[in-house]
A and B are shown apart, each in its own frame.
Chain A
Amino acid sequence: MLRRFVKFLREKLLLVLFIGFVIGLLAAIYSNKAIEATSTPESCEMCHVHPHVTDSWKLSVHYDTRVGIKIGCVDCHLPPKGEGYLKEKIKASARDAYGFFFKDSADFNWEAKSSLDQAQHHVFKASCVKCHSNLFPITLNRKGQDAHLYYTQHEDELRCINCHLNVGHYDPNALHAKNVEFGSTGNENLEKFTEPTAVSALEDFTEQIPGTTISFNMKAIPGGSFKIGSPEKEQYREADEGPQKTVNLSPFFMAEIEVSWNEYLAFYGATAAEGRSTDTEGSRLQGEVDAITGPTPPYGQPDQNWGMGDRPAITMSYHSAETYCKWLSQVTGKTYRLPTEAEWEYAARGGTETPYFFEGDPKDFAEKGFLGNLFGKSNELINSYVIYEKNSGLKTGVPEDVEANPFGLKNMLGNAAEYCLDWYAEDAYTQLSDGATDPKGPAMGTERVIRGGTFKSAAGEVRSAARDHTQSEAWMKTDPQIPKSIWWLSDCNYMSFRVVCEFDEKTGKK
């Protein structure tokens, strides 16, 4: 029987080959059809139950294109065929199926997902350049030429969506231009303060900015000594947080909250009149005039469309923050400046020596897994004090969201990171002598210390001792202006600052 079948196969070899060929061909065609069929926008929409995505896509330049081609979901959200298309398709399908069956799409933070940080994980540069292979069409204008030239010289570090984030999904609030309207708020008709607050003792006060409607609270911080840095055993501790040293600090005042948009816009409105036409250093030389030249108009939306008001002002450069303090000193007759790193940590700790100024260890609040979630401590405590990755919705919050630390300061840990006066050095505390009074950090450096974690930080990064530093180059990578702004960061949305006021003869020190 078997032998006869083999004989039959041998005799009909061509027929067998032909049938095999046809079956193979059909399999290929149908699997290809299956892939195509599951790659249409309609098939995507079956599971992706977030209709605003479809709406914003239809409003975008990739739907109603100048040349009449319609660009679908997978054209951007999967790599080109032959460059990992199938692999990414399978990965995406698995992820989507899991999301579809086990999660509620209403709980997703769609706003955060469309931010650059997250969009880069589901938009493929290779797909952009597959269609946009000519970056220098002769219709490209001067600014576009400059920007694409910059891209060709930094291709490894840049993505198309760094500049073209909203081309796939229309965002009416997105702005990719110089924002000359920025900062004109409706406060112009309110009564303005004429005098700054007179301060005669080391007590809390509310500063009034003359010529504006803005006031803000300053907390008196008593002098004292504390141990800077963290013990070696502290969870999530980094090497730059030691060795611990004892530091003595003179009394000073510190702002209750991070400099708010209201406060920052007062400065912007008062100083930015000059040089509004161009975002450069300004042609006046230092010392020629007394007036302070403030920021030029930002490019795009510095507040990321998260709202302004009492939310911390963000995306200003270190130079801007410094200039703000100079201006504030000038208009109030006091000595405002950025805190030193020692002042900052002393104020953040408020007399505590634990990882946070409240109870708990970092691991209590970190990613805990299934069992941890069932039996571990709740996050209630940290949620009442700190805006960080778990509760922020990936944007900054307002001061009312949290409670103050023992010194009455809000958002020291988390929310936005804060510039300090010191140059950053990994071994700063090794250089620091034990028992130093009012230390100011290393004499020289290339980057400044930043402290306090951010709305993107994990629990371990919002400890009182956690240190970080500025990134001059990376934070300016995609500013399309030539020259780049010295006032606004193009690639960092979590930097803010907090002012301190010196307790000196101007504030009642005898």
Chain B
Amino acid sequence: MSESQFSRRKFLGGAAAIGAAGAIGFGPLTSCTSGDSSAGSSAIYDWKQRDYNFPPLLDQVPEGTVLKAGVIGCGGRGTGAANNFLEAGGSTVTITALGDVFQDRIDGCRDRIKKEHGLEIPDENCFIGFDAFEKVIDSGVDIVILATPPKFRPEQFEAAVKARKHVFMEKPVAVDTAGVRQVLAAAKMADNLGLKVVTGTQRRHQHKYINVYKELSNNAIGKLTTAEVYWNGGQLWYRNSNPAWSEMEWMIRDWVNWCWLSGDHIVEQHVHNIDVANWFFGKHPIKALGFGSRQRRPTGDQYDNFAVRFDLDDGRQVLSTCRQINGCTNAVNEVMHGTKGKAFTSQGGTSKIVDLEGNELFSYEDHETSPYVQEHKDLITCIRQNIPFNEAEATANSVLTAIMGRVSAYTGKEVTWEEMMNSDMKLGPDTYIMGDVGYIKTATVPVPGSAD
């Protein structure tokens, strides 16, 4: 396979980039020198001007009529989310429908819900197949929980919104630019319809993070200058192929190792940390330059390490690294640098703010409620009290940020937000059938740059 095939075209979709004129495009017209915080979007704005919609964070959800949820994607996370939802809502919520492409996944989820919560989900409300999501949405639920591999999310989210359902969906919400745009548009529809959407970025529902954010917005470390965000961890999991499985079945059962299903781990997992940077800065980067590689991943077509520098339109930067390799030193956290100190958002169960000399100014223990449960409490609370709450746009922007980093690492080239928004990148097979789709034989691991 010739290396020239790893062209920008392949990973960037059809974004036009012809010669120098096309490549520059964005830069010269954006002023990065403005010191006036009121002048345009490129100014570094003051915490005072920030307007952030915090989740309600109640320990106990308000009473109300029973909310019925359907779960789409009943694997590990879907089952986990279902349990988190039932724990959050207690007797005031229920799960009435399940959907997946695999019977064994439905069975596992159903059994666990029955065992842990005593809920029986009848056969006729369990749906199998790539179109199961439509049936779950149409089964009379109030909320849908979307937890399939993220490739399928945009279509399912749009369908849920159009059916006027509240949504809990796991991050990432898409794997490619076409998907991100679909989510962004559906997010606007959800706003218009007054629907509530929570997106599995649970750090935004976690006390130690929220408290740091509040301290920082009270000027604890001055203006933010830089962020470091890390998910340097071990191997996640993988499944070897199985003669009983078709090509599609194997890829879906092994989905965290396939770019078209997961978005690669910078999108699938590291988006959590990237989202914290976007949250604290109150905006997303406009370009990325990074690299990465595949060293030890046993299956799939993904990398297992990335290092990316993101640039904001005001010249500030976010440094990001992520890794999924066993036997290395791990770190999963974020560090926010300000003009008067820095904040460690997560050191074990606490977060900490120090001044420039390293003296501790604040520290916060995490709350006893798991953030995975808290985010469901927030969703239920917002529905019952009709509090506007929709995380889809922010998460879609963080996902697009991560995709921008991925494309930069795959190609070795700087990639801009405009290029991403103007890209027709759409990963994976065109149609979904449970069989052989001829994908694996053409799948390749990207090699950036050229050998000569």
Contact = CB atoms under 8 A, between A and B. Distances in A.
Interface stretch (A42-50, A64-72, A146-154): A146-154
Contacts of A378: none
Contacts of B421: 150, 153
Contacts, number: 78
Contact of A136 (B16, B18, B188): B188
Contact of A482 (B25, B162, B422): B422
Contact of B9 (A136, A283, A318, A447): A283
A86 interface: no
A296 to B, nearest CB: 10
A207 interface: no
Nearest to B7: A285
B24 interface: yes
A281 interface: yes
A473 B29 contact: yes
Contacts of B19: 319
Interface string A27-44: 000000000000000000
B188 A152 contact: yes
B283 to A, nearest CB: 12
Nearest to A153: B421
Contacts of A446: 20-21, 24, 28
Contact of B185 (A146, A318, A445, A448): A146
Contact of B181 (A134, A140, A146, A281): A146
A177 interface: no
A135 B188 contact: yes
B31 interface: no
A278 interface: yes
B426 to A, nearest CB: 10
B442 interface: no
A278 B16 CA distance: 13
Contacts of A134: 192
A464 to B, nearest CB: 26
A280 interface: yes
Nearest to A279: B14
Contacts of A2: none
A470 B20 CA distance: 13
B202 interface: no
B76 interface: no
Contacts of A473: 25-26, 29
Contacts of B5: 285
A151 to B, nearest CB: 11
B303 to A, nearest CB: 24
Contacts of A145: 181-182, 185
Nearest to A482: B424
B427 interface: no
Nearest to B161: A138
Given A136-B188, A136-B189, A484-B422, A319 B14 contact: no
A137 B193 CA distance: 9
B21 A318 contact: yes
Contacts of B22: 472, 486
Interface in B1-49: 4-5, 7, 9, 13-16, 18-22, 24-26, 28-29
Main secondary structure, interface of A, reads loop
Nearest to A448: B21
A484 to B, nearest CB: 6
B423 interface: yes
A381 B28 CA distance: 41
A149 B181 contact: yes
A51 interface: no
Nearest to A487: B16
B184 interface: yes
A278 B38 CA distance: 42
Nearest to A148: B185
Contacts of A146: 181, 185
A450 B59 CA distance: 66
Chain A CB within 10 A, most for which of B14, B18, B193 = B14
A483 interface: yes
Contacts of A135: 188
A444 interface: yes
Interface in B328-373: none
A468 to B, nearest CB: 15
B9 A281 contact: yes
A472 B424 contact: no
A247 B184 CA distance: 55
Interface string B295-336: 000000000000000000000000000000000000000000
Nearest to B422: A483
A148 B29 CA distance: 23
Contacts of B18: 281, 319, 486
Interface string A120-147: 0000000000000011111010100110
A147 to B, nearest CB: 10
Contacts of B424: 280, 482-483
A157 to B, nearest CB: 10
Contact of A149 (B21, B161, B185, B193): B185
A138 B159 CA distance: 10
Nearest to B12: A483
Interface string B408-443: 000000000000011110000000000000000000
A283 B10 CA distance: 9
B25 to A, nearest CB: 6
Contacts of A484: 16, 422
B423 A483 contact: yes
A482 to B, nearest CB: 5
Given A149-B185, A470-B21, A472-B25, A483 B13 contact: yes
Interface in A451-510: 470, 472-473, 482-486
A146 B24 CA distance: 23
Nearest to B185: A145
A483 B22 CA distance: 13
Contacts of B7: 285
Given A318-B21, A483-B13, 11 more contacts: A136-B185, A137-B189, A138-B162, A140-B185, A280-B13, A280-B14, A444-B20, A446-B28, A448-B21, A470-B21, A486-B16
19 contacts: A136-B185, A136-B189, A137-B192, A149-B184, A149-B185, A149-B188, A280-B14, A280-B16, A281-B9, A285-B4, A318-B21, A446-B20, A472-B24, A482-B181, A482-B423, A483-B13, A484-B422, A485-B16, A486-B22
Across the A-B interface, give the 10 residue pairs with the lowest CB-CB distance, nearest first: A280-B14, A145-B185, A136-B188, A483-B14, A486-B16, A136-B189, A446-B24, A138-B162, A483-B15, A483-B422
